[in-house]
Amino acid sequence: MSDGLLGYLLDPANWQGGGVRASIPALIGTHLWYTVQALVVAAVIALPLGLYIGHTGKGSFIAINAANAGRSLPTLGLIILLVVIMGLGFGPVLIALVVLAIPPILTTTYAGIRAVDPAAIDAARGMGMRPLQVLFKVEVPIALPLISSGLRNALLQVVATSTVAAYVGIGGLGRLLIDGLSLNDYGRVVAGAVVVAALAIVLDLLAAGTQRLVVSPGLTGRIPRRLRRAAPAASAPALAPADGVAATTSTPEPVSSGRDGASS
């Protein structure tokens, strides 16, 4: 069974350019290009908005309800509706992908900023930081695990949905699925599904690796060995903020007390 079905995937001709059909690497390239465009546009809109809502607390109902709205909106329907209204092309697809990617980024950015321990913010203010310094030196680093999980979520959704978008005539890996289905060439469908699934998993693993790199080790509990002896001392104040006077203590305190906020 698998010989026939994996034929298209394993046929070297489908991996090289120059044929009548687009080669699989070319399709992957197109797919990634769509994904990057949609993700960048969504991040440019959602990150500042999420930071603003989280930092000021204004308009938080938008951030809270965006997640539910985004999850319940049927992707395929949105893309097709935009195409019927605007005509074929990448424009309507890009809009649909951005609409899908905004909610996860917006809600996690908002939630991450809101979850930062107020004591850490008080301490930063007490040290003389301006509002923007508090935001970018304290709130954003502490919220980074949640923000990056939102970006990962958006990335996965966009990769998956660009596939569906081939139904309305754009390129990318969805072509293998849609063309294969309409030509009854099931080997091509399997090739598309396998490559898309592999691409999504690889991208998610890469994103997870990036997350490990950019998030401060003090927040993840992965403290480097040379600092490990100091760790118990640093985590002790985390218990203190309960009585509300902790903000006046030493400087490492914001980070360690923020760990509770970020992981909750």
Partner 1 sequence: MIQYLQNNVAVIQAALSQHVFLALVPVLIGIVVSLPIGYLAVRFGFLYHPLLNLSGILYAVPSIALIVLVPTIVGIRILSPLNIIIALTVYTVALLVRVVADGLKSVDPLVTEAASAMGYRRLRRLVSVELPIALPVMLAGLRVATVANVSLVSVGALIGVGGLGALFTRGQQLDYAPPIVVGIVLSVLLAAVCDGVIVLIQRRVTPWTRAAGRIAA
In the complex, minimum distance from the CB of residue 154 to partner 1, in angstroms, rounded to a whole number: 13
In the complex, minimum distance from the CB of residue 12 to partner 1, in angstroms, rounded to a whole number: 21
- The yes or no reply on residue 196 touching partner 1 (CB under 8 A) is yes
Selected binder of partner 1 within 174, 218, 237, 254 (CB under 8 A): 174
- # of chain residues touching partner 1 (CB under 8 A): 40
DSSP character for 17?
T
What string marks each residue from 113 to 152 as x (binds partner 1 by CB under 8 A) or -?
A: ----------------------------------------
8 A C-beta contact, residue 258 and residue 117: yes
- HSE-CB for 35 with a 13 A CA cutoff: 28
Q: Is 203 helix (H, G, I), strand (E, B) or coil?
A: helix
Element (H, E) at 236: none
Contact range with partner 1 by CB under 8 A, out of 73-81, 104-112, 228-236, 251-259: 73-81
- The yes or no reply on residue 60 touching partner 1 (CB under 8 A) is no
DSSP character for 128?
T
In the complex, minimum distance from the CB of residue 139 to partner 1, in angstroms, rounded to a whole number: 25
Contact range with partner 1 by CB under 8 A, out of 70-78, 124-132, 139-147, 215-223: 70-78
Specify burial of residue 174 (Cβ count, 10 A radius: 0-12, 13-18, 19+): buried
C-beta of 73 vs 239, nearer to partner 1: 73
Determine the Cα–Cα distance for residues 14 and 179; give it in Å rounded to an integer: 14
- The yes or no reply on residue 48 touching partner 1 (CB under 8 A) is no
| Residues between 81 and 100 with contacts to partner 1, criterion CB under 8 A | 81, 83-85
Element (H, E) at 80: helix 75-86
8 A C-beta contact, residue 59 and residue 140: no
